[in-house]
Amino acid sequence: MKKVVVCTLVVLATMVQSVKAQKKEFKEEIKREVSFDSPGNSDNVLIVQNLNGSIAVEGYDGNQVQLLVEKSIWGKTSEKLEQGKQEIGIKVLRQGNEIVLHAQVPNMEYKDGRLSSIDHHKWVAPSYDHRLDFKVRVPRNIQLSVGTINNGEVRVSNMAGSYIKANNINGGIELGNVTGKTDVHAINGEVKISYAANPKESSTYYSLNGDINISYQDDLSAEIAFKSMNGELFTDFEIARQYAKTSKNESGKGKKAKYRYEAKPIVQIGDGTLFHDFETLNGNVFIKKI
């Protein structure tokens, strides 16, 4: 039986490589530089939204938003390849103190801070494959909101702004040497964060099918709320106390109103100054000292 399985895997791998080899490929680099209207303003916000591919954001001491996108198209025919070259790209939008960089993809639109299907129900994929990998250098003191959906990771480093939001559907999220209130949401990937300075506002951390690893500075003072179906919470911080906090959720109105009470375990570290909310379904939470 083992030999049959091995042979089957080899055949399948060969078939996949053969199909890939048959596709025509196009690659190019797209470069842009954009400036905020008020450079140095800590209220400036950069939004980066992608569909297929990774996002890497690095903070630096300059004032320009420097963008490099690696664009890749694969098509079974020259016509499909050319169609992809024309249809896939990036858009740069300026909205007050916001700069938006997003993937330009057929049947998708940027609305309310994210990419979504134009018909709001089902996205119709184009007849070619594509990938856009964003690499962005930004002023380190700005606020940031980034997200991708397929075939990529979200990585942010060296940011000193007051807020970071990061989302990924089918990949992980990694924030390194960052500060600020944090809102991260991953579905099929791990969340890893290390703080140069602990958040000064309450933050939320979510991963459906992955571990959450957070490294705080040793002056952490927070209540840690934890919810998981199949995971556990681990920490090397000294625990001041543990208790359960009950919340009431209401649905419906009048006689049809329904109430659901939920008790959530709370771990207090230090004086419990802030409230950090952690949730997983199939992952553990690790809260560590740097």
Distance CA 221, CA 201 (A): 11
Q: Which tens digit of pLDDT belongs to each residue from 239-285? A: 999 999 887 777 777 777 888 777 889 999 999 999 999 999 999 99
Q: What residues have CB less than 8 Å from 59, skipping those under 6 apart?
A: 137, 138, 139, 140, 141, 157, 158, 159, 160, 161
Distance CA 81, CA 23 (A): 9
Would 170 be classed as within a structural domain? yes
Could you give the angle at the alpha carbon of 216 between the alpha carbons of 214 and 220, nearest 5°? 130
Would 258 be classed as within a structural domain? no
Q: What share of the chain is helix, strand, coil (3-state, %, to 5)?
A: 10, 55, 35
Q: Using CA atoms of 208, 195, 287, 223 in order, give the dihedral in degrees to the nearest 10.
A: -90
Would 120 be classed as within a structural domain? yes
Would 48 be classed as within a structural domain? yes
Would 260 be classed as within a structural domain? no
**3-state SS assignment for residue 11:** helix
> Average pLDDT, whole number, for the chain?
91
Closest by Cα among 64, 55, 12, 38 to 148:
55
Q: Which tens digit of pLDDT belongs to each residue from 219-243? A: 999 999 999 999 999 999 999 999 9
93 pLDDT exceeds 50? yes
**Domain range enclosing 182:** 23-239+271-289
Q: Which residue has the tokens 């990938």?
A: 131
What's the CATH number where 84 sits?
2.160.20
3 pLDDT exceeds 70? no
Q: What is the mean pLDDT of residues 119-138?
A: 88
Supply the pLDDT for residue 1: 30
Distance CA 227, CA 44 (A): 33
Would 166 be classed as within a structural domain? yes
The whole-model pTM stands at 0.88
Would 251 be classed as within a structural domain? no
What are the helix (H) ranges across the chain?
2-22, 78-87
Number of C-beta neighbours around residue 222 at 10 A: 22
Q: Residues 146, 47: contact at Cβ < 8 Å? A: yes
**3-state SS assignment for residue 170:** coil
Q: Among residues of the chain, what percentage have pLDDT more than 90?
A: 79
Would 6 be classed as within a structural domain? no
Domain count, the chain: 1
- Kindly state the tokens that stand for 239: 């625990």
Distance CA 218, CA 290 (A): 7
